[in-house]
């Protein structure tokens, strides 16, 4: 026994023979559609099964260089190492103990072509993988997907916001509080609008009516964020409110200031509802702010249109 395990020792010189795991390097390549590059093995072990481009490190090269070499040899493309994904110990009946080091690699050039050790090379959706030859590959792909989770979620949500596709967005998890907190935020706004020097015209208006109008507008915002109200509802509510404010003698700049105060209070309350520990959390709340901006732009436009309508109430 040497240390905590039996080892071979030369009986003449006392030299200890250490048996170390073989180092193997794997390259994990994702394309723009978030699919992972796999090769189908031509030779044993696990002949015919799919795996990441993988092979043993050779003398005179780093483990990262080995991963890039295997990628070129087995899949026909050159790459650039992005980051280390995993280092996993695995015992193979064929090779013995292995240390499998997996790198995420970005494709730089070349065309995906099966090399001498592969029958086929193909990209697979990361959630629709075929049975893989090596458990270390499965683990590395899961870890890589976890590392990309926030980034992919942000990209998908941003695209939905830009395209107005109606698909779910990250900020959807925050929108429920708008309707739920409408009464509370309306009271904060009412106290502000009746004491702010930019909205003095609101001091002579009935506070109960103001509170009801504000709460109604906030609930409309909540329903709009959830996709349950239409632009026509926004138009109808705010044009009527604009006409009412004009009839009440409120100046246009006071009306606009009141809207900005409401936007400030709802945004401040929204920010207080989350814990921002990750970039995706920050994006979620900033995305919500962008959606607020769209709603309040519509509100201001229709308020002013209603305010400026003639006494006959004609609309354009």
Q: CATH number for the domain including 209?
A: 1.10.490.70
**Do 127 and 13 reside in the same domain of the chain?**
yes
pTM over 0.85: no
> Distance from CA of residue 300 to its chain's centroid?
31
**Do 146 and 44 reside in the same domain of the chain?**
yes
Q: Is the dihedral of CA 54, 103, 32, 131 positive or negative?
A: positive
Distance separating alpha carbons of residues 7 and 10, to the nearest angstrom: 10
Under 8 Å CB-to-CB from 119, ≥6 apart: which residues? 40, 41, 42, 48
Distance separating alpha carbons of residues 261 and 255, to the nearest angstrom: 10
**Do 140 and 46 reside in the same domain of the chain?**
yes
One of 65, 73, 112, 120 is an active-site residue; which one? 120
For residue 280, the model assigns a pLDDT of 84
Identify whether 267 is part of a domain.
Answer: yes
Q: Where are the alpha helices (DSSP H) in the chain?
A: 63-75, 135-163, 172-180, 182-193, 207-225, 231-247, 252-271, 279-308
What digits encode the pLDDT tens for the residues 6-15?
767 777 776 6
**Do 78 and 195 reside in the same domain of the chain?**
no
Identify whether 316 is part of a domain.
Answer: no
**Do 292 and 256 reside in the same domain of the chain?**
yes
**Do 146 and 181 reside in the same domain of the chain?**
no
Q: Taking the CB of residue 248, how many other CB atoms lie within 10 A of it? A: 14
Domain range enclosing 127: 8-163
For residue 40, the model assigns a pLDDT of 97
Specify which residues 91 forms β-bridges with.
Answer: 97
Total domains present in the chain: 2
Identify whether 313 is part of a domain.
Answer: no
Contact 144, 30 (CB under 8 A): yes
Reply yes or no on whether 120 is catalytic.
Answer: yes
With a cut of 50, list the residues of the chain below it in pLDDT: 311, 314-316
Residue 273: closest CA among 295, 289, 294, 261: 289
CATH of the domain at 29: 3.90.79.10
């Amino acid at each position: 026994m040497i240390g905590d395990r039996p080892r071979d020792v030369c009986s003449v010189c006392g030299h200890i023979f250490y048996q170390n795991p073989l180092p193997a390097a794997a390259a994990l390549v994702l394309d723009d559609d978030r699919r992972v590059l796999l090769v189908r093995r031509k030779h044993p072990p696990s002949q015919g099964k799919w795996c990441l481009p993988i092979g043993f490190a050779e003398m005179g090269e780093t483990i990262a260089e080995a991963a890039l070499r295997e990628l070129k040899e087995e899949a026909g493309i050159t790459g650039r190492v992005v980051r280390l994904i995993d280092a996993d110990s695995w015992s193979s009946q064929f090779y013995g103990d292995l240390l499998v080091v997996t790198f995420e690699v970005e494709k730089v050039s070349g065309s995906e072509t099966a090399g001498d050790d592969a029958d086929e090379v193909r990209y697979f959706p990361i959630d629709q993988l075929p049975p893989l030859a090596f458990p270390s590959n499965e683990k590395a792909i899961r870890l890589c997907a976890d590392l990309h989770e926030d980034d992919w979620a942000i990209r998908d949500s941003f695209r939905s916001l830009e395209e107005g596709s109606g698909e779910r967005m990250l900020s959807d998890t925050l929108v429920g509080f708008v309707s739920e907190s409408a009464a509370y935020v309306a009271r904060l706004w009412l106290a502000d609008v009746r004491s702010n020097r930019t909205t003095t015209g609101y001091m002579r208006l009935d506070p109960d009516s103001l509170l009801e109008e504000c709460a109604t507008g906030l609930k409309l915002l909540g329903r709009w964020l959830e996709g349950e109200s239409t632009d026509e509802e926004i138009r109808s509510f705010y044009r009527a409110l604009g006409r009412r404010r004009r009839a009440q003698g409120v100046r246009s700049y006071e009306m606009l200031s009141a809207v900005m105060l409401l936007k400030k209070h709802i945004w401040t309350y929204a920010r207080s509802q989350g814990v921002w520990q990750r970039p995706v959390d920050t994006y979620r709340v900033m995305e919500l702010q962008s959606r607020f901006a769209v709603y309040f732009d519509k509100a201001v436009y229709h308020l002013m249109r209603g305010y400026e309508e003639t006494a006959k109430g004609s609309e354009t």
